[in-house]
């Protein structure tokens, strides 16, 4: 898998340090509350697991499967909910945990969906953010700003591969333009 990468963008150590920082910030901001952390499957699952362990206050967890990529390298612009929440969002303080904000459209639409369903508050925690967004999304808890390149590892994939890399790397263009 390493031979498919142009370079390693974020090391395992950098990721661990940032997750601890984000967990500490969330713990402080939500002291005395019991927020609902929602993992966006499947890309955020590794980040979500590490983040939940770094948060030192009680939390509830749930999972939703959203898709806009349809097994390709580029967003289709259409957001599909493939698996809905089990928890009722009404009145809850929610933190959506996402792996990467690319166009911003998926998070903007899903955040509004939760607010429309009566969520008390909705914040976004994203490990990565690319520079170009088609819409402005407020990311309360942000890990890293990255260049506009196709990245894999630490849960992020290309065609369901590379998720198990312990770091984040830039995928060689010839791999996803075949």
Kind and range of the H or E element at 137? none
* Cα–Cα distance, 137 to 104 (Å, whole number): 6
Residue at token pair 């909910």: 81
Distance between CA 62 and CA 86 in Å, rounded?
A: 7
- 102 catalytically annotated: yes
CA-CA-CA-CA torsion sign (49, 18, 161, 159)? positive
Q: Which of 93, 99, 102, 157 is catalytic?
A: 102
Catalytic residues: 102
């Amino acid at each position: 898998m390493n031979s498919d990468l142009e370079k390693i963008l974020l090391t395992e150590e950098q990721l661990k340090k940032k997750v601890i920082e984000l967990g500490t910030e969330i713990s402080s901001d939500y002291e005395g509350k019991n927020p609902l952390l929602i993992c966006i499957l499947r890309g955020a699952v590794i980040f979500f697991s590490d983040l939940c362990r770094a948060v030192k206050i009680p939390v509830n967890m749930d999972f939703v499967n959203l898709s806009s990529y349809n097994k390709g390298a580029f967003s289709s612009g259409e957001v599909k909910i493939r698996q809905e929440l089990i928890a009722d969002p009404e009145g809850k303080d929610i933190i959506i945990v996402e792996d990467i904000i690319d166009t911003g459209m998926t998070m903007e639409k899903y955040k509004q969906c939760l607010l429309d369903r009566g969520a008390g508050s909705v914040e976004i925690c994203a490990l990565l953010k690319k520079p170009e967004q088609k819409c402005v999304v407020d990311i309360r808890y942000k890990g890293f700003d990255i260049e506009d390149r196709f990245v894999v590892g630490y849960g992020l994939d290309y065609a369901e591969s590379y998720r198990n890399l312990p770091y984040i790397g830039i995928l060689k263009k010839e791999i996803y333009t075949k």
